[in-house]
Amino acid sequence: MRLQNYAEGQWIEGKGKGTELFHAVTGEKVAEASSEGLNFRAMADYARTVGGKKLRAMSFHERALMLKAMAKYLMDRKDEFYPISAATGATKVDSWIDIEGGIGTFYVYASKGRKELPNEPYLIEGNLENISKGGTFVGRHICVPLEGVAVHINAFNFPCWGMLEKLAPTFLAGVPAIVKPATVTSFLTEKMVKAMIESKILPEGALQLICGSAGDLLDHMTCQDVVTLTGSADTGKRLKSHPAIVEHSVRFNMEADSLNCSILAPDAAPGSEEFDLFVKEVAREMTVKAGQKCTAIRRTIVPQEMVGDVITALKKRLGDVKVGDPAVEGVKMGPLAGKSQVGDVKRNLELLKHAGEIAFGQPEDFQVVGADKGKGAFFPPVLLYCKDPLKKSEPHSVEAFGPVNTVMGYANIDEAIELARLGRGSLVGSLFTANDATAKKVVLGTAPYHGRMVILNRHCAKESTGHGSPLPHLVHGGPGRAGGGEEMGGIRGVMHYMQRTALQGSPTTLSHIGNQWMRGADRPEATRHPFRKFFEELEIGETLTTHRRTITEADIVNFAGISGDFFYAHMDDIAARTSLFEKRVAHGYFVIAAAAGLFVDPAPGPVLANYGLENLRFVKPVYIGDTIQVKLTCKQKTVKETPEGVVAWDVEVSNQNAEAVALYTILTLVKRKDA
């Protein structure tokens, strides 16, 4: 079978002699892959001019709904991917992480896109910056989609997840993508991309696929493009220095394999829950995906006096792991992705043996269940022990990308931190402790060298996702050897594919550009009460200026009785005189309640409900005898898929001297005429 590339809206078989791809368990040929004959320049242009144009015309909410629809579609077809995933050597659990875990990133970004981003094609970011004395010249930031293409170069270990975790923030940002999976497992990526194209959910040109070499694609990168890589540090260095990437300052995000560590704290002694959790997690990270994870534990750092106990416990747990065909019942670890990976792991294991001895596992003498060891890409779990980890460099510089791990001892917490930092930058570290003081010290000492730190103990272990599971809500990446990049991270990940531009001008002009009223901008007085208007009738900036109300002592006393708030500043005249207020003040919450009484229109109408209040600030006290007035301004409108839209109102409560006393935003559901 010859794999197909998806380029310029067509499925195309590459020409020439393809790269042969083999079943990781049986060694049988399953496909050939070639990208020869593809016009890479045309692919990039097609993405920019066709896919990018369509995506940029969509709002964040429309893109989020697209992600949700695709996630549902792929989940409905998930059973088609599992048999193909088995050919990569994956167990059912491995496949679940790759397939359903990947689809899950689309669900997360779909949710975050609709909750945290506006229903606009762009984002107005941050607060208004006052940069002039009179407030007529202000600044703010706008984030818009880049007008290029995102080229995603992925690793062999997660053919589905590796693609989807990058596509989710890319598509949400409004940028098209060209996906280049690692060739050895590209047959699974091709199957999922075919399903995505068949769904017709994505706009034309949003997604293209290369099965094989990326050819001269990077030669055609521009300043509007993004290149991301998951793979080895050596490959990353080579691509990052590509002439086109350097010349055009192309955004380059790299997530490289790293020498991740797990630390057992001194309080987690044998017999404790934390000790048992630690041993279980280290063994799991060695065997899930046969240790072929960029986040897998490579260095196990334990108190010197517990080294023997840890090695004994790990040997017992690893001894129960059956290696073989994942289709056979009882097999807990499959093969590596291919024979070339076996050779790489063996070579690096030999280097690691210069710094330590093998405590468990024999690479040349192990049993394989249900398969021919000579034909498949099998490799057993191997545990090493390094006696002098501060003097030996290999455990901190050599990675065997497979089920290989090195145990090393430390004398004190400072030494444990030093060992963790010797990895020169890691994707993830974990710490097992029930001592919060220890946790704080280790985190502050190791955080500069890690992209993620996981602190596990009996209190969170049951619901923990574990050491090696990156989550779409949080950043996935790390400094130094780990690549210096970030992926996912919720909305942070979306920003990698957008241009942040500082805007300077009058508040009125910037309000018009961003379709969001900003303080200081014009606000024409409403000729009809805004609460009598449907969603479509409301104009950004239109303002209701209310009648006034004078605050009395009776108001304060009555509110105290209703609320139960008898704080001295409101009720004790003598104590209030010696306070920063110098005399009794009205309750802040009474002020905003009274403000609502001033601006609310009581009759039933298009405004259905107030469901939120944001950014409340009491900026000046309100005293007995002060008179308050409210300006209610339509700040922002958000269309929903429901019969109601959401309107954000700026509320400014001022006193008789026109001084602001309270500032906040309220959110209301407003009926739409056309829904």
- Residues 157-183 have a mean pLDDT of 94
Please enumerate in sequence order all residues whose Cβ is within 8 A of that of 120, keeping only pairs 6 or more positions apart, or say none. 59, 60, 515
- Residues 185-192 have a mean pLDDT of 94
Amino acid making up residue 487: E
Give the pLDDT score at 17.
87
What is the average pLDDT score of the chain?
Answer: 93
Q: Which of 572, 548, 569, 665 is nearest to 621 (CA)?
A: 569
What does the pLDDT look like over 442-466, one tens digit per residue? 999 999 999 999 999 998 988 888 8
CA distance 648 to 667: 5
What does the pLDDT look like over 565-602, one tens digit per residue? 999 999 989 998 999 999 999 999 999 999 999 999 98
Question: Sign of dihedral through CA atoms 348, 354, 359, 364?
Answer: positive
CA distance 205 to 177: 8
Tell me which DSSP letter residue 303 carries.
Answer: E
Burial status of residue 530 (CB atoms within 10 A of its CB: 0-12, 13-18, 19 or more): buried
What does the pLDDT look like over 394-428, one tens digit per residue? 999 999 999 999 999 999 999 999 999 999 999 99
Q: Which of 256, 224, 258 is nearest to 240 (CA)?
A: 256
Give the pLDDT score at 673.
86
pLDDT at 610 over 80: yes
**Please, where are the H alpha helices in 527-622?**
553-563, 568-571, 573-577, 588-599
Q: Which of 250, 295, 24, 11 is nearest to 155 (CA)?
A: 295
Question: Sign of dihedral through CA atoms 194, 198, 202, 203?
Answer: positive
Give the pLDDT score at 30.
87
Task: Walk me through the domains of the chain, giving residue ranges and CATH numbers.
Answer: 4-120+146-255 (3.40.605.10), 260-482 (3.40.309.10), 507-671 (3.10.129.10)
CA distance 550 to 581: 19
Give the pLDDT score at 192.
95
CA distance 495 to 123: 10
pLDDT at 439 over 80: yes
What does the pLDDT look like over 613-622, one tens digit per residue? 999 999 999 9
Amino acid making up residue 364: E
> What is 391-406 written as a DSSP string?
T--GGGT---SSSEEE
576: left (phi over 0), alpha (psi -120 to 50) or beta: alpha
3-state SS, residue 46: helix
Q: What is the CA radius of gyration of the chain?
A: 30
Given pLDDT bands bounded at 50, 70 and 90, which one contains residue 237? confident
Query: Is residue 160 flagged as an active site residue?
Result: no
pLDDT at 276 over 70: yes
Q: Are 9 and 189 in contact (CB under 8 A)?
A: no
Q: Which of 285, 521, 555, 261 is nearest to 403 (CA)?
A: 285
CA distance 124 to 511: 10
Edge-to-edge strands of the sheet including 453-456?
A: 357-360, 382-386, 404-410, 297-303, 260-264, 429-432, 453-456
With residue 231 as reference, give the H or E element that holds it: strand 226-231
pLDDT at 210 over 90: yes
Q: How many helical (H) and strand (E) elements, i.e. helices and strands, does the chain have? A: 20, 27
- Residues 615-638 have a mean pLDDT of 95
Given pLDDT bands bounded at 50, 70 and 90, which one contains residue 365? confident
- Residues 50-74 have a mean pLDDT of 96
Please state the φ and ψ torsions of residue 320, each to the nearest 5 degrees: -90, -5
Give the pLDDT score at 436.
93
What does the pLDDT look like over 29-59, one tens digit per residue? 989 899 999 999 999 999 999 999 999 999 9
Give the whole-number percent of the chain exceeding pLDDT 90.
74
Give the pLDDT score at 675.
67
Query: Is residue 129 flagged as an active site residue?
Result: no
With residue 64 as reference, give the H or E element that holds it: helix 60-76
Q: What is the pTM of this model?
A: 0.90
CA distance 593 to 202: 47
With residue 69 as reference, give the H or E element that holds it: helix 60-76
Question: Catalytic one among 294, 399, 486, 652?
Answer: 294
Please enumerate in sequence order all residues whose Cβ is within 8 A of that of 5, keeping only pairs 6 or more positions apart, or say none. 11, 12, 13, 14, 35, 38, 208, 209, 210, 211, 212
pLDDT at 165 over 70: yes
Tell me which DSSP letter residue 71 carries.
Answer: H
Give the pLDDT score at 496.
94
Please enumerate in sequence order all residues whose Cβ is within 8 A of that of 391, keeping only pairs 6 or more positions apart, or say none. none
What does the pLDDT look like over 112-156, one tens digit per residue? 999 999 999 999 998 898 989 888 999 999 999 999 999 999 988
CA distance 165 to 413: 35
Question: Catalytic one among 32, 255, 486, 542?
Answer: 255
CA distance 193 to 564: 61
Give the pLDDT score at 185.
92
CA distance 87 to 181: 16
